Structure 1
């Protein structure tokens, strides 16, 4: 199979939108009121919200339009649904309408999400900049003034939103950020830091030649428990599968496939193991989650070329694993029979061999802004003076790696445990100040917000990205319209959002 991360989007700069010329017009310079960098769900909501405030808006996709919801994450975790309002709630309502329903739908096909997101951008008349990434920024004092893209285009704006999964704009602009995990002591988070909650499992960790299985790493015995480090949780692809024989593509081996690469994974499968992807609104299609442990660590700070290599490594691992499960005679037949019920959905990602282009970047950089959310902000100190939205999901971090402890035990390191005793949160308010860098007066951040690793593990859901994106875009639009600084709006943004149906506070 030939899969690519960028594919056809590596072409020139294309601007779409009636306010900026015809749909076939190409240009190398543009001036707008608000520029949104990142075309995933949060970026689209930011662009819409800014346009709603009367701003002329451009969005640099920096990847496939719609991000994860349009690239395989159809089994949408929402937490408490009553905290989801505004544009996020409208998204799920529009998904329902896509299927001819009058009620919201949260489990959807990638193509459904893509269609709804494109509707949002068309409705708001947003200029879409496709096929380019950040190259440089221009600034004057505490204000960003323009970005230069990898194709040479320069886009000027009065206000900016970094809605990328990686926080590439905030980093290039010189904002403070963190990658990895804080220590337990830094924010007094009892389950923070390295190996805070060991998840030790019995299993052989070495092959017949005495070498560690490929899936495992040696346990870092010299590292102090609860200490800070730069490791991040695992990434994966969210694959869209089908069990309709007319719409199934077999799990093909990637180039360089080696079956013995998966012997540890084989050891975790037995006659009772269940293969159960999540069923979507189209009852013949499914969302498959996964992990490639220990392979994500370099992504946040990597160059575009390095990210391409990491993307390919994840693709090869996951494609190879599914091929192994479905074809290798060593796999228990009861399990391989379950796997072979499914295949890649032929009607999804049709220009990329039915494989999504977006890698599931569960966590990358995290801003250090005017307010840093920590575990207590999701559990006990849950009300905020300047709230712009709400979260409610449990603390949820996938393991950073599988570490071999001995010849017959390994540690799935980096999770917050299996019970609500360690993962529990309550519905909480998200402060506006966590979206605002300390270094700039006209830059908002809507994905890589200011939070500890533990708090971010709850915030990192696509509905919350949409909620924070709407808030960031609203603020950016107000900055452009009123010619004010971002912090000047902290008392206003929540009220403006409430006027649009957003849910920004706990009921009184």
Structure 2
């Protein structure tokens, strides 16, 4: 796993390194090497790739500097059953990506384990294969990564991988601008413009830009769906039956089962610093020649999954509802139900944690999910028909081959969110207020996964934080939401951890939208360079014209 080779000795909450903890790393503050480009992109997500490609297409030099070894973030990390929403608002390089997916699966050689005709055409709210528009929205992880790498190769973009920003002292600034960034290997990257394309917002935070973590109270922006939402059950991710939370049923003194908090959830609509749950999006295979049995993880403890037995005993049988089919007898398997792959409540520290603590959280999520699958596959208390069906599946042997067939990217659904001069809220997403400076569009449902699992006042277990609210029509995303306040930084754009409330981010946080905003960010960065102005001072009319020429969708 690319993160594992990294740091075991970083102080929590800082970027400080114990000297000698990483072979070859200098911690004296002097740079081992300096590399320069017009645009420096930090992060290896899909947004990073589209930003880099667009900057290069517009005639600028560009470097991607990223901790990851694999490009594409969640798009190549298991999320192959694309959250499209209204696909008509996906344009530019994002649409080019999905066109290339279509081209990939037009090649019969791509159908190694399954005939194309047998696959079907199920997508999420849209056909998987749209032949009329020459796009495909469902794909295998390795196919996505190949396409991202092809983008990089075709445009001769240099990528420096396994490069981790020195978050404590690695951002050099002058006159409210970033001059350069340093990595923990001691390398220095100098540029005219910088783009933070990470899921965590590490460059943004290290540059001194304002941000928030967690859920705003309803009063902050006048949002109906903000903060704690006890009793809101929009999906199937809650306990539909009365399930006892205690180790010995009916006996609170016996203690709570694993995964249940003993703290009260908080007042309805109150804000908190808690984060919606993370998980790995799993690529399973049912083909005998491509199926790897679920491994028993180190430290496996079946007691961690006792709550699932009680869920099954209540009559619940929706285990396979989110085994969404992708080509070649594989799945994009997502969380579903009251007890599933989301490791609820175990990620609150992640957004601002040190690299070492983040790695610990990542390892815990992996161990939890590996244990969950092994538990379902082997524990004699699992309903027989469920276990028999589950054991038709396993890890896909031909995916994530350098990581034990396990995804290399944890699904960081939400971490830091910038606070700039304009904050996207549910009012913009639901069409209650317009946007005068659109640089992209979204359309997906307002969507948050659960945030906490607690004991109700009646003495039963329940989840909280999951909601799904339909968006009446595609909405615009403001340019001001992807740039910081000018007084904080004049040459940084943030297309992933953009300025948004928790509620609004639930819709914006989709991979196609990140690709769209990555391209728009790069276009703005190039304009700022050409006109020698801050990113806040570029001419929006010119930006809009440029985006439309690039076939970005920014009009209703």
Q: TM-score, normalised by structure 2?
A: 0.84
Which one of 403, 428, 434 corresponds to residue 481 of structure 2?
A: 434
The aligned residue for residue 494 of structure 2 is 445
Quote the residue 2:11 is aligned against.
Answer: none
Q: Which residue of 2 aligns with 1:387?
A: 438
Q: Does 2:84 correspond to 1:39?
A: no
1:118 aligns with 149
* Structure 1 equivalent of residue 302 of structure 2: 259
2:81, 2:326 within 8 Å by CA — same for their partners in 1?
Answer: no
1:249 aligns with 2:292: yes
CA distance 1:325–1:407, shift in 2 (3 Å): farther
Q: 1:74 aligns with which of 76, 80, 102?
A: 80
SS of match in other structure, 2:305: helix
Q: Which residue of 2 aligns with 1:5?
A: 3
| Other-structure match for 1:164 | 198
Counterpart CA distance in 1 for 2:354 and 2:444 is 32
> What corresponds to 2:394 in structure 1?
343
Equivalences, count? 487
Write the mapping of 1:102-501 to structure 2, written as runs, cut at 5 A. Answer: 103-135=134-166, 136-195=170-229, 197-199=231-233, 201=239, 202-208=242-248, 210-220=254-264, 223-269=266-312, 270=315, 272-290=317-335, 291-381=342-432, 383-406=434-457, 408-416=459-467, 422-438=469-485, 439-489=488-538, 490-501=540-551
Q: Is 1:52 matched with 2:50?
A: no
- CA deviation after TM superposition for structure 1 residue 5, in Å: 3.5
Hey, what does 2:17 align to over in structure 1? none
* Preserved contact between residue 191 and residue 197 of structure 1 (Cα < 8 Å): no
What displacement does 1:409 show?
Answer: 2.3
After TM superposition, the structure 1 stretch with the greater mean CA deviation from structure 2, 480-489 or 434-443, is 480-489
Unaligned runs of 5+ in 1: 14-26
Q: Note the alpha carbon deviations across 1:302-343, whole angstroms, 9 max, x for none.
A: 010001100000000000000000110000011111211110
SS for the counterpart of 2:221 is coil
My pick for the range that moved more, 269-278 or 252-261, is 269-278
Separation of aligned partners in 1, 2:518 and 2:505 = 15
Contact map agreement 2:2 2:162 (CA 8 A) in 1: no
Q: CA deviation at 1:196?
A: 5.5
SS, match of residue 158 in structure 1: strand
> 2:19: which partner in 1?
none
Deviations 1:36-68 (A, max 9, x none): 111110111111111121110000122231111
- 474-483 or 125-134: which moved more? 474-483
Whether the aligned pair in 2 keeps the contact of 1:12 and 1:132 (CA below 8 Å) is no
CA contact (8 A) 1:384 1:429 kept: yes
Aligned-residue CA RMSD in angstroms? 2.1
**Contact residue 85 and residue 502 of structure 1 kept, 8 A:** yes
Q: What CA distance in whole angstroms lies between the structure 2 residues aligned with 1:319 and 1:161?
A: 35
Counterparts of 1:120 and 1:496 in 2: how far apart (Å)? 21
Distance 2:230 2:430 in 1: 18
- Give the C-alpha shift of residue 271 in structure 1: 7.1
Mark the CA change 1:220 to 1:100 in structure 2 (over 3 Å): closer, same or farther. Answer: same
Cα displacement string for residues 192-218 of structure 1 (whole angstroms, at most 9, x for unaligned residues) = 112255447321111227321102112
Decide whether the 8 Å contact of 1:109 with 1:280 is kept in 2.
no
Secondary structure at 2:440's aligned position in 1?
A: strand
Q: Structure 1 length normalisation: TM-score?
A: 0.92
Secondary structure, in 3 states, of the residue corresponding to 1:155?
A: strand
Check 1:125–1:214 CA distance in 2 against 1; reply closer, same or farther (3 A cut): same
CA contact (8 A) 2:326 2:332 kept: no
Distance of 2:515 and 2:91 partners within structure 1:
10
CA separation of 1:338/1:407 partners in 2, compared to 1, >3 Å: closer, same or farther?
farther
Question: Does the 8 Å CA contact 2:324/2:333 hold for their aligned counterparts?
Answer: no
Is residue 74–residue 411 contact of structure 2 (8 Å, CA) maintained in 1? yes
Which whole-Å deviations, capped at 9, do the CAs of 1:140-180 have from their partners, x for residues lacking one? 11211100001100000000000000000000000000100
Retained in 1: the 8 A contact 2:443–2:471?
Answer: no
- CA contact under 8 A between 1:429 and 1:504: conserved in structure 2? yes
Task: Say which SS state the counterpart of residue 492 (structure 1) adopts.
Answer: helix
1:385-415 Cα deviation digits (max 9, x unpaired): 2111100111100010111115652231112
Q: List per-residue Cα deviations over 1:267-305 (Å, max 9, x = no partner).
A: 222474442444444231111112110011111000100
Whole-Å separation in 2 of the counterparts to 1:242 and 1:94: 23
Note if contact 2:228-2:271 (Cα within 8 Å) is conserved in structure 1: yes
